[in-house]
Amino acid sequence: MSWKQWSIAEEVKFDDFQNLIQDQVIQVYENSTARGSALGTAVTAGMFAHLLDTSSTEYYNGTVWLSLSNPGDITDVTAGTALTGGGTSGAVTLNVNLAAVGSSVLASPQITGTATLAAGTVTGNLVVSGTATLSADTSIGPVTSAQLGFVSGVTSNIQTQLNATQPFTQPVLGRTAAYTAVADDANDLLYFTNSTAVTLTIPDLIAIGDRIDIIRDGAGTVTIAAGTGVTSWAGAGTAGTAVTFKMDQQHNGATVYKVAANTYRVIGKVIP
């Protein structure tokens, strides 16, 4: 099929009428049923038909009729809450208005990349895989997913709850036997009520600047000795890792300080 211009008085042949006029004109029918009854099998690829019941124009592709145009019933796109853009014609774009997002509901979200949580309330559990950085207070630094787990069920001051997660060992009061200090004794009190002599050994386990306080409240002498890892040990005017310091009087106190790497000083009411 093609396009043809006839001359005045030129005969229109049957094939030309069928191919160039009949098959290419836009036919009008009440509906698809009426079109099917009128055309039967006399359909060919490229035919056009307009259906009045749906106000749509269709074309035959050689197998089925396909809609060429259907205006539908959408008259405009309105930007709702936290959206901008929209329109009533042409290409319409919607954007998220981040400034207007006051709250959001996330059901089992998967967030890839960087997510910023502004001031607000988290209801339920906030689960973070990897490391989250709290930028509102730079002194806090990176927070691990395990630490964020403490946020779940917060009912009081969060700092109080975080402080409660710090390692702390309640000192054993009334020690009556020989004892070797451990790292958890740092900045704690070792309280002795022994009735006979005992030895307290201090290995190199605490951090520089930390201390261990000792009180002798029993009748027995408490002897303080350097343990494994200590290379500098001094107090009461003498030094040497083999030197021990005795708390020879009941109710006396002493303190062992770590002043440098592997270096300890013993102060208080002690004698070599």
| Cα distance between residue 114 and residue 76, in whole Å | 34
Question: Which comes out higher in pLDDT, residue 241 or 163?
Answer: 241
The number of angstroms, rounded, from the C-alpha of 257 to the middle of its chain's C-alpha atoms is: 42
Q: What is the pLDDT at residue 55?
A: 87
Q: What is the pLDDT at residue 257?
A: 97
Question: Which comes out higher in pLDDT, residue 210 or 23?
Answer: 210
pLDDT, tens digit, 9 for 90 and up, residues 92-129: 888 887 776 655 566 666 666 666 666 666 666 666 66
| Cα Rg of the chain, angstroms | 45
Confidence of residue 168 (pLDDT cuts 50, 70, 90): low
Q: What is the pLDDT at residue 23?
A: 65
Share of the chain above pLDDT 70, in %: 68
Domains of the chain: 14-69 (3.40.1620), 112-166 (no CATH), 179-268 (2.60.120)
Question: What backbone phi and psi angles, to 5 degrees, belong to 51?
Answer: -105, 125
| Cα distance between residue 203 and residue 80, in whole Å | 68
pLDDT, tens digit, 9 for 90 and up, residues 122-132: 666 666 666 66
pLDDT, tens digit, 9 for 90 and up, residues 244-254: 999 999 999 99
CA distances from 185 to 171, 212, 224, 234 (A): 7, 7, 15, 20
Q: What is the pLDDT at residue 262?
A: 97
Strand partners, 78: 86
Question: What backbone phi and psi angles, to 5 degrees, belong to 145?
Answer: -60, -35
pLDDT, tens digit, 9 for 90 and up, residues 27-66: 888 999 999 998 898 898 888 888 999 888 999 999 999 9
H-only helix segments in the chain: 14-16, 32-39, 145-148, 158-164
Predicted TM-score of the model (pTM): 0.42
Question: Which tokens is 185 given?
Answer: 């004794």
Q: What is the pLDDT at residue 26?
A: 84
8-state DSSP, 100: G
